[in-house]
């Protein structure tokens, strides 16, 4: 295990047999089971119970407020002026880190050394552990500096680099996650990969220093084997990162309704009694939940209810400050990995909003709104919203979140509310001793409502006040375009006036901060080119803004972004109404990126949707809103390219299945003029695969249409206009599946 196993969008395990696999036996016999490593495994599974490792380093870590401080007297390395907070955390390591780029590769060539590539992110707990144990160790650093070119990458800033080497890690090690540890030739081709390594041998697992010695020995004495191994991995990797290019076309006609039913059956069969769709560690998968929302059978409803209730009522959710942790390390959603990612807050807010509307569950809507208000209160920075809050505070995982009964009593006594002690510890199940290293992670008692009762609001504020006096987790303040666009979408979809306005303001500011007039950038620092996901999430959020307001400026902005996307990310000829079956889809990275020799394509949906799915959905929605057939053809081409996966492995591409519905079966609901009861009625119905076109703008679908009426159109054919909500609902419900 690692900090975020299988959170990426690489091929799931059940599809791996289709690819030429790296011969792991040969990898290990040549390199890892070297004479100095006999009997050791290539990487170590990270224990789920932190007590297994904490005694070795916890006391020292408690004295370290952040990783930059430990070597405050040292001369800084090349990372000190990095735009990435994660890289700056390593700026005073004794390791002589290089940032990713041609300079590091040139230095490896000049010195004839292999590259050690370490990839992580600022909120990654186990990245901090490996940094503390190994990268701050003088002996390890000296050996690493003398024999390798050490390179550090922030996966959030450079997801393109991360995607390539994550695929390599999964090929070699059979699993992936962060921190990622990869050994490369000077040209960037990997020859060995793993995740977290302890500094020395531990519980039968190879230590990092011994691994470095083995890699150095192989480089010096088995160079031909190393090169051969890198060639084998590279061949497999080229196929892995362009999986969609090797899919055979689907022979039969698409049956999207049938595929949705197959996906529903698989999800219902896999749902866990504690919610979720797999074993621990458990990641929220909003797209799985949303795939079930249009099914009204008992099993589907139960799967949704148990999953959303478990995630929102147990320890995954922060019941004192708000917001979701990254994932749960246990099967019951109680013990989280405490970092909070902006992307999770946005996607889960969208999911709880939609589910609340479908089920009529106001408590789920409250979860979404409280999550969004948490983000505004704790993650807003000057040019948008920060990417994450760390799992650790003062070097201790979760120290800012957990409680003892005595701490609760002191907090309440400080504001004269000690009489609420029993009710407080009962509501949030704070016990002595607690279940997490003797401390309690707040969660709701079974009888408690989600929203805090008025009579305990003072107690909650007292706990918040006490928490804010503790050492706080660090905040990674880079403003990622993709995740901020996700958040803007969630804010706009909330329908709450002040939140909608926040979302619209954010969309406007992103154009100023992330676009320089010619180039779109991933962060406000403008150091890495925007990815396909950055731009497609932006298009999707701009369409949300149009649906909310009916203002053409949002679709005009979306069309500009779509033009940039097609110009710099599309593979070969762009499809058109005259030539529909051309083009190879979108690369994940721009053609302006010059420091990678591989341009991956991302088709599998993971913790977040793939770029293939998001491009399909966002362009289809924009096309439906504007009547732009050329964009719809591009979206439909993406469906065709992924058709075999839809037909045979819908579980691996739930977001693409959703997107295909917009592309091939999209419903246009046209209500000209000012928004009124008809628009309100549409929003209450939560019609899947539909767009709402209102106002008096330039959309072709508004031309010659009368205000006060609603028009429902499918595949270019419109039904008779209606002027009542009931008649509109009858038309819409007639074509859901």
Per-residue pLDDT tens over the stretch 237-256: 998 899 999 999 998 999 99
How far apart (Å, rounded) are the C-alpha atoms in residues 634 and 510? 25
How far apart (Å, rounded) are the C-alpha atoms in residues 588 and 161? 11
CB 70, CB 64: distance < 8 Å: yes
Decide whether 531-665 matches 666-737 in CATH topology.
Answer: no
Cβ-count burial 108-128 (b if 16+ within 10 Å, e if not):
beeeebbbbbbbbbbbbbbbb
Select 531-665's CATH number: 1.10.10.10, 3.30.2320.50, 1.50.10.20, 3.40.50.300: 1.50.10.20
In the block, which residue shows the tokens 């709402």? 692
Fold of 666-737: Glutaredoxin (3.40.30)
CB 328, CB 281: distance < 8 Å: yes
**717 - beta bridge partners?**
714
Q: Is 573 exposed, middle or buried (0-12, 13-18, 19+ CB in 10 A)?
A: exposed
CATH class, 13-241 region = alpha beta
Please report the pLDDT score of residue 456 as a whole number.
98
Q: Which two tokens stand for residue 4?
A: 């975020």
**476 - beta bridge partners?**
388
**Span 272-311+339-391+476-528: which CATH code?**
1.50.10.20
Please report the pLDDT score of residue 218 as a whole number.
96
Low pLDDT (below 50) residues in the chain: 1, 5-8, 13-73, 736-737
Contacts of 561 (CB under 8 A, 6+ apart): 520, 535, 538, 539, 542
Domain definitions of the chain by residue range? 13-241, 272-311+339-391+476-528, 531-665, 666-737
Its pTM stands at: 0.90
């Amino acid at each position: 295990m690692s900090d975020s196993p299988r959170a990426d969008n690489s091929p799931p395990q059940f599809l791996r047999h289709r690819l030429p696999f790296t011969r792991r036996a040969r990898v290990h016999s040549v390199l890892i089971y070297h004479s100095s490593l006999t009997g050791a495994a290539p990487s170590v599974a990270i224990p789920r119970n932190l007590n297994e490792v904490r005694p070795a380093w916890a006391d020292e870590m408690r004295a370290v407020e952040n990783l930059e401080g430990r070597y405050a007297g040292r001369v800084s390395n090349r990372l000190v002026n990095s735009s990435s907070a994660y890289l700056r955390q390593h700026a005073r390591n004794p390791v002589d880190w290089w940032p990713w780029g041609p300079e590091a590769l040139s230095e490896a060539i000049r010195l004839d050394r292999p590259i050690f590539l370490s990839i992580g992110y600022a909120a990654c707990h186990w990245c901090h552990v490996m940094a503390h144990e190994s990268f701050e160790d003088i002996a390890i650093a000296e050996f690493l500096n003398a024999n390798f070119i050490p390179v550090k990458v922030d996966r959030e800033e450079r997801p393109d680099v991360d995607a390539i080497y994550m695929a390599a890690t999964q090929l070699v090690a059979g699993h992936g996650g962060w921190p990622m540890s990869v050994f490369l030739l000077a040209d960037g081709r990997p020859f060995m990969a793993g995740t977290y390594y302890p500094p020395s041998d531990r519980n039968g697992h190879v230590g990092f220093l011994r691994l470095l010695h083995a890699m150095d020995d192989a480089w010096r004495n088995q160079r031909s084997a190393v090169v051969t191994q890198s060639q084998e991995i590279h061949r497999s990797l080229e196929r892995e990162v362009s999986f969609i290019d090797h899919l055979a076309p689907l022979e039969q006609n698409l049956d999207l309704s049938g595929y949705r039913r197959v996906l529903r059956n698989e999800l219902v069969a896999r749902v866990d009694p504690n919610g979720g769709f797999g074993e621990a560690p458990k990641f929220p998968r909003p797209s799985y939940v949303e795939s079930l929302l249009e099914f009204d059978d008992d099993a589907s409803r139960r799967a949704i209810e148990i999953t959303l209730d478990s995630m929102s009522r147990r320890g995954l959710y922060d019941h004192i400050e708000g917001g979701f942790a990254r994932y749960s390390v246990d099967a019951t959603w109680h013990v989280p990995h405490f970092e909070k990612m902006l992307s999770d807050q946005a996607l889960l807010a969208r999911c709880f909003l939609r589910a609340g509307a479908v089920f009529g569950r106001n408590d789920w809507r409250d979860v979404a709104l409280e999550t969004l208000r948490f983000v505004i209160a704790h993650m807003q920075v000057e040019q948008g919203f920060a990417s994450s809050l760390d799992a650790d505070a003062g070097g201790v995982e979760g120290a800012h979140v957990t409680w003892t009964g005595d701490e609760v009593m002191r907090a309440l006594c400080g504001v004269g509310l000690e009489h609420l002690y029993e009710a407080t510890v009962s509501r949030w199940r704070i016990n002595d001793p607690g279940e997490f290293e003797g401390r309690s992670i707040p969660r709701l008692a079974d009888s408690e409502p989600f929203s805090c009762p008025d009579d305990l609001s003072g107690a909650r504020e007292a706990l918040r006040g006490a928490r804010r006096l503790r050492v706080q987790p660090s905040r990674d303040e880079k403003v990622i375009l993709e995740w901020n666009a996700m958040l803007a979408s969630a804010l706009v979809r909330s329908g709450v006036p002040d939140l909608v306005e926040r979302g619209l303001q954010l969309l406007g500011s992103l154009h100023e901060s992330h676009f320089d007039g010619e180039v779109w950038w991933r962060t406000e620092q403008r150091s890495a080119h925007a990815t396909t996901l950055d731009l497609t999430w932006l298009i999707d959020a701009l369409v949300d803004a149009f649906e909310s307001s009916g203002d053409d400026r949002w679709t005009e902005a979306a069309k500009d972004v779509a033009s940039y996307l097609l110009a710099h990310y599309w593979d070969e000829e762009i499809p058109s109404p005259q030539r529909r079956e051309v083009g190879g889809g979108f690369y994940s990275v721009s053609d302006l990126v010059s420091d990678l020799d591989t341009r991956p394509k991302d088709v599998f949906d993971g913790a977040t949707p793939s770029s293939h799915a998001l491009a399909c959905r966002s362009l289809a929605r924009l096309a439906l809103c504007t009547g732009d057939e050329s964009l719809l053809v591009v979206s439909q081409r993406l469906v065709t390219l992924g058709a075999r996966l839809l037909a045979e492995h819908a579980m691996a591409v739930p977001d693409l299945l959703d997107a295909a519905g917009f592309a091939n079966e999209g419903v246009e609901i046209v209500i000209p003029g000012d928004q009124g009861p008809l628009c309100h009625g549409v929003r209450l119905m939560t019609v899947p695969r539909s767009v709402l076109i209102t106002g008096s703008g330039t959309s072709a679908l508004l031309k010659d249409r009368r205000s006060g009426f609603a028009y429902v159109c499918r595949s270019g054919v419109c039904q008779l206009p209606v002027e009542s909500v009931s008649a509109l609902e009858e038309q819409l419900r007639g074509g859901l599946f």
